[in-house]
Amino acid sequence: MLIKWSEVWPLAVALTILFFFTQKGEHTSIIIWLIIITLIFHTAATIISLYTYKIPEQFKNNNILYNLIAFIKPLLVGLYILKLKQLKTLTYLRIVYVVFILFTIVNFTFLENIFTYSTHMVIAESIVLLIFTMTFFLNSMIDDEIPLPLNHPAYFLCTATGIFESINFFIYLFIFPVFYTNQDFADLLMNISGVAFIIYGLILAAGLFYNRHEFRFKKAVLQNE
């Protein structure tokens, strides 16, 4: 059950923390939107996958949802990292960001159908996110001019994203050939991907908890007392 809903409940945990606690720091609203949007898409995709027989025929295809996630996730994570003072001067990250957007437009305009699961997009997503997260960590190690505290949400976001994409890059690179040759091994790979997503979501949740500012309903609690 945990694995079947692995793309949903870890993000729901993160969203629950956001519901109860405000967040410190600049641009955390980008992380909030990342969690909300991807939770909605992953929930819809999981429901379609698990309850296909109950879904009307015109809504059974969840490929478009995963294609949109593969675009939105690098878009929002990249935007958040680009807004960090430590990385604003790195022009090549902006170039990678723009190239990814252009690639997405060209890919779904001329190469692939957005209603068909796109391995190109998933691989591009992993490459872009790994470039951004690895750059963040390398910059954190060698540049002390504008240090970030270790409980800063950027560390949690980049750790979660880096781990998940490092694992999934190789899984989705070979998953379709494996599905046709060894179903059991393919199922194992998908379970590993599910565990990786759980780790991703819980690290995000931990980062939001450590970055909490105050209880959202503090005034209401005090009034009741």
Q: List per-residue pLDDT tens for the chain, 225 residues long.
A: 678 889 899 999 999 999 998 888 778 899 999 999 999 999 999 999 888 878 887 778 889 999 999 999 999 999 999 988 878 778 889 999 999 999 999 999 988 989 888 888 989 999 999 999 999 988 887 766 556 667 788 899 999 999 999 998 888 877 777 777 888 888 888 889 999 999 999 999 999 998 888 877 665 554 555
Amino acid at 123: I
Cα(164)–Cα(75) distance, integer angstroms:
16
Which pLDDT score, from 0 to 100, does residue 26 have? 79
Which pLDDT score, from 0 to 100, does residue 49 have? 87
Q: Which pTM does this prediction carry?
A: 0.89
Which pLDDT score, from 0 to 100, does residue 225 have? 52
